[in-house]
């Protein structure tokens, strides 16, 4: 039954089907027969959150326990939020339509820093105090995981417990501990203390932070002897045996990634120095192609999707890609299922591979060159050469493609205007290449799109010490790039510098940012990933009111000795390794071979018992 209050407002909002559940494969259980209720919250809109693979995995995993019921929750759009608040409707789970206020767990996934205020807004919509210390009872336990949990300090005051690393095991262990806690009537404090003994669990309230006079951190000290001084992330050692969902919830309304997704590997062997994902998900682990083929068949069968994407951080680095495509092509072609391969690298995109993927419908080609000159590509350890970009584009054009998208970043360490000009030059060379080909696609012009992001220094990367370019510098570089582009065949889009700056503050921020985040939410920030809702001034005002200087976090060069807010979290890439890589990049301008070529000694091998590629 749909609650009457909800019925009353649903026809007054855009796309009501996103607020009512009932989708194919959503899991409905009997309230009376479950012991643990979990709300898996994605702090963004339905169309974004429903695209997220991690949520699909954990949703299915939790629900595989008969006495646990995990439901999906997303941030309502502004029109829905207003109606909910006017009618006193608390944030509810899409499966039961029950308010999540008294659920056992409220879980957030931290995919990007700009979603932090959405977390506060969702807690508030659920009728809960946003600060952890103001939620006294055992339930709900508000927990969070995902990539941003590698520096969760800015939101440490709002969240009771963080999961570090991959969740398939640790989330289950914590929920099992909670079952005991609930049965035995533990206090929240006792539960959190016990949970902190589980590997991969970080309970921020169990650590005290002291600061130096210059505002940097002096130390993180556990409040009790049994609390670990450093917390090591969790990984799944063997992807072949780990749980993978056989079905996805299939939405009615269209979402960003409306397709089946097959996770072919975790981790990345490349070590691009700007890329957080390339370090925090180490070590690289492959899943075998035969198991993937079975997973893929089950997913397509259970969802009815006509598209499946092979996801990973670097798809063409997957050793068994050829085998996997050979397994999958016959049945996907027969069933008219389109296969897509995002995250291809230009240095190993072969003609053979392209022929295989072009048997299904053509979609756009995107390559990440990241920087405009070889010098800078070496600094960031991209290990991609211009002739490889050209060779790949040639293959693509000869194969019938007429548009290519190239990804770049600006504001990278050591960058000069020469490097910015290099972006435009590279795009121009691609245009010229197209017209020089005798066998280019007929009757069509070429379109080269440059997409340029602003570099944001992130924790656990060799660039974690680096200052971000100031906004003035970024704006100047953007202007200069535009002036360098001469051809109408080249289009340029770039990221908003304000967003990147705030992201940089939050990414390497500490606990003192909590006040600013709360203030910003109170000023109306709630869906800051969306241009129409984002107002940078709110953030600047909030930093000022909280007595904080954003530049301290974003634009300051940090010494190797400084204690970072994430130094007590162990993602198994050692600080010494990061320092070494930072030096090689800046002082020697040298690249580091990828993990299969030579071990660079990052430390992640200890997670798999000594050797990454056994």
Partner 1 sequence: MRKIRVFFTKLGRAKYISHLDSNRCWQRSIKRSGLPVWYTEGFNPHMYLTFPLPLSLGYESKYECVDMKLMEDLSDAEVVQRLNDALPLDIRVFACAEPVMDQKEIAWADYDIFLSCDNAAALSEELSAYFAQEQILVQKKTKKGSKEVDLKPHFSVLKQEVEEEGIALTLRCTTGIEVNINPSLLLENFSGIDKVETTSTCRTMVYTAKLEQFK
Nearer to partner 1 (CB atom), residue 6 or residue 551:
6
Q: How far is the CB of 308 from partner 1 (least distance, A)?
A: 12
CA nearest neighbour of 414 among 437, 381, 458: 381
Binding pattern to partner 1, positions 329-348, x when CB under 8 A? ------xx------------
Residue with tokens 């979609």: 363
Quote the DSSP letter at residue 204.
Answer: G
Q: What angle do CA 556, 557, 561 make, to 5 degrees?
A: 120
| Window of 19-27, 61-69, 275-283, 443-451 that interacts with partner 1 by CB under 8 A | 19-27
7 is a contact residue toward partner 1 (CB under 8 A): yes
Q: Are 77 and 45 in contact, with CB atoms under 8 Å apart?
A: yes
Contact 299, 262 (CB under 8 A): yes
Per DSSP, what are the bridge partners of residue 24?
Answer: 250
The residue to which tokens 């240095």 are assigned: 347
Nearer to partner 1, 363 or 451 (CB): 363
> Could you say which of 190, 237, 361, 475 contacts partner 1 (CB under 8 A)?
361
Provide the b/e sequence for 583-609 (b: ≥16 CB within 10 Å).
ebbbeeeebbebbeeeebebbbbebbe
Q: Which stretch binds partner 1 (CB under 8 A): 247-255, 375-383, 474-482, 571-579?
A: 247-255
Residues 284-303 close enough to bind partner 1 by CB under 8 A: 301-303
**Footprint of partner 1 on residues 249-278 (CB under 8 A)?**
250, 252-254
3 makes contact with partner 1 (CB under 8 A): no
Tokens of 178: 């909670």
Contacts to partner 1 from residues 28-47, by CB under 8 A: 28
Smallest gap from Cβ 16 to partner 1, in A, equals 4
Q: Per CB under 8 A, which region of 195-203, 304-312, 472-480, 521-529 contacts partner 1?
A: 304-312
Q: Which two tokens stand for residue 92?
A: 């509810």
Give the whole-angstrom CA distance, residue 377 versus residue 272: 9
- Own/partner pairs for 205-209, CB < 8 Å, 24+ apart? 205/132, 205/133, 205/156, 205/160, 207/568, 209/510, 209/511
For position 16 contacting partner 1 by CB under 8 A, the verdict is: yes
DSSP 42: E
**Shortest distance in whole angstroms from residue 262 CB to partner 1:** 17
Nearest-approach distance from CB 21 to partner 1, in angstroms: 7
Options 59, 305, 434, 463; binder of partner 1; rule CB under 8 A: 305
Among 3, 66, 215, 304, binds partner 1 (CB under 8 A): 304
Whole-angstrom distance, CA of residue 212 vs CA of residue 218 = 5
Look up residue 234 and give its DSSP letter.
Answer: B
Min. distance of Cβ 589 from partner 1 in angstroms? 48
Q: Which two three-digit tokens encode residue 98? A: 């029950």
Q: Which of 3, 5, 22, 416 binds partner 1 (CB under 8 A)?
A: 22
By beta-carbon proximity to partner 1, the closer residue of 335 and 414 is: 335
Piece of 2-10, 238-246, 286-294, 419-427 that binds partner 1 (CB under 8 A): 2-10
Per DSSP, helices labelled H in 68-217 are 78-86, 116-125, 167-184, 188-195
Single out the residue of 9, 23, 175, 327 in contact with partner 1 (rule: CB under 8 A): 23
| Secondary element (H or E) of residue 366 | strand 365-370
**Binding segment (CB under 8 A) for partner 1, from list 7-15, 433-441, 487-495, 574-582:** 7-15
Pairing of the two strands 36-42 and 265-266: unpaired
- From the CB of 22, what's the least distance to partner 1, in Å? 3
User: Residue 207: in which H helix or E strand, if any?
Assistant: strand 207-211
Q: Is residue 17 near partner 1 by the rule CB under 8 A?
A: yes
Contact segment (CB under 8 A) with partner 1 among 10-18, 156-164, 217-225, 352-360 equals 10-18
Strand partners, 500: none
Q: How far is the CB of 24 from partner 1 (least distance, A)?
A: 5
Q: CB-based contacts of 58: which residues, under 8 Å, 6+ apart? A: 40, 70, 107, 167, 168, 171
* Minimum CB–partner distance for residue 255 and partner 1 (Å): 11
Interface residues with partner 1 (CB under 8 A) are 2, 7-8, 10-11, 15-17, 19-24, 28, 250, 252-254, 301-306, 335-336, 361
């Amino acid at each position: 039954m749909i609650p009457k209050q909800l019925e009353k407002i649903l026809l007054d909002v855009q796309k009501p089907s996103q607020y009512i559940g009932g989708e194919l494969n959503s899991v409905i259980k009997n309230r009376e027969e479950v012991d643990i209720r979990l709300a898996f919250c994605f702090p963004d809109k339905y169309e974004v959150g429903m695209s997220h693979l991690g949520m699909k995995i954990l949703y299915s995993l939790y629900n595989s326990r008969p006495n646990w019921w995990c439901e999906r929750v997303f941030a309502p759009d502004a029109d829905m939020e207003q109606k909910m608040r006017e009618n006193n409707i608390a944030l509810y789970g899409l499966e039961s339509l029950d308010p999540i206020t008294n659920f056992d767990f409220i879980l957030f996934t931290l995919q990007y820093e700009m979603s932090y205020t959405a977390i506060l807004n969702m807690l508030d919509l659920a009728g809960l105090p946003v600060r952890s210390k103001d939620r006294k009872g055992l339930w709900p336990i508000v927990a969070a995981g995902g990539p941003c949990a590698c520096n969760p300090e800015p939101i440490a005051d709002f969240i009771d417990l963080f999961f570090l690393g991959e969740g398939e095991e640790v989330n289950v262990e914590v929920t099992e501990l909670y079952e005991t806690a609930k049965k035995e009537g533990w206090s929240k404090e006792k539960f959190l203390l016990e949970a902190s003994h589980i590997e991969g669990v970080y309970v921020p309230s169990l650590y005290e932070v002291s600061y130096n006079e210059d505002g940097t951190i002096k130390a993180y000290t556990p409040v009790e002897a049994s609390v670990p001084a450093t917390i090591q992330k969790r990984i799944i050692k063997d992807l072949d045996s780990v749980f993978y969902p056989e079905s996805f919830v299939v939405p009615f309304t269209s979402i960003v990634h409306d397709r089946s997704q097959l996770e072919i590997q975790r981790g990345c062997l490349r070590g691009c120095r700007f890329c957080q994902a390339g370090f925090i998900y180490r070590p690289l682990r492959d899943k075998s192609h035969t198991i993937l083929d079975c997973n893929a068949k089950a997913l397509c069968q259970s969802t009815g999707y006509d598209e499946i994407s092979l996801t990973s951080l670097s798809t063409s680095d997957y050793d068994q890609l050829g085998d996997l495509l050979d397994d999958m092509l016959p049945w996907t072609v027969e069933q008219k299922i389109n296969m897509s391969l995002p995250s291809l690298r230009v240095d190993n995109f072969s003609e053979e591979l392209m022929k295989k993927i072009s048997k299904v419908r053509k979609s756009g080609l995107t390559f990440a060159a990241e920087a405009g000159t070889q010098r800078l590509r070496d600094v960031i350890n991209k290990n991609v050469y211009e002739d490889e970009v050209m060779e790949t584009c040639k293959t693509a054009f000869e194969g019938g493609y007429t548009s290519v998208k190239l990804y770049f970043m600006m504001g990278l360490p050591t960058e000069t205007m020469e490097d910015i000009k290099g972006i435009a030059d590279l795009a121009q060379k691609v245009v010229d290449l197209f017209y020089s080909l005798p066998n280019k696609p007929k009757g069509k012009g070429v379109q080269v799109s440059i997409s340029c992001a602003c570099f944001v220094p992130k924790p656990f990367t060799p660039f974690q010490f680096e200052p971000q370019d100031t906004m003035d510098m970024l704006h100047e570089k953007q202007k200069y790039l535009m002036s360098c582009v001469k051809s109408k065949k080249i289009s340029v889009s770039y990221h908003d510098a304000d967003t990147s700056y705030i992201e940089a503050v939050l990414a390497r921020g500490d606990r003192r940012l909590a006040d600013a985040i709360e203030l910003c939410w109170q000023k109306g920030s709630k869906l800051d990933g969306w241009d129409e809702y984002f107002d940078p001034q709110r953030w600047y005002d909030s930093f000022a009111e909280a007595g904080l200087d954003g530049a301290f976090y974003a634009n300051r060069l940090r010494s190797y000795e400084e204690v970072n807010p994430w130094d007590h979290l162990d993602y198994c890439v050692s600080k010494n390794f990061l320092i070494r890589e930072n030096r090689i990049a800046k002082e020697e301008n040298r690249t580091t071979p990828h993990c299969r070529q030579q071990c660079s000694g990052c430390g992640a091998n200890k997670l798999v018992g000594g050797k990454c590629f056994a």
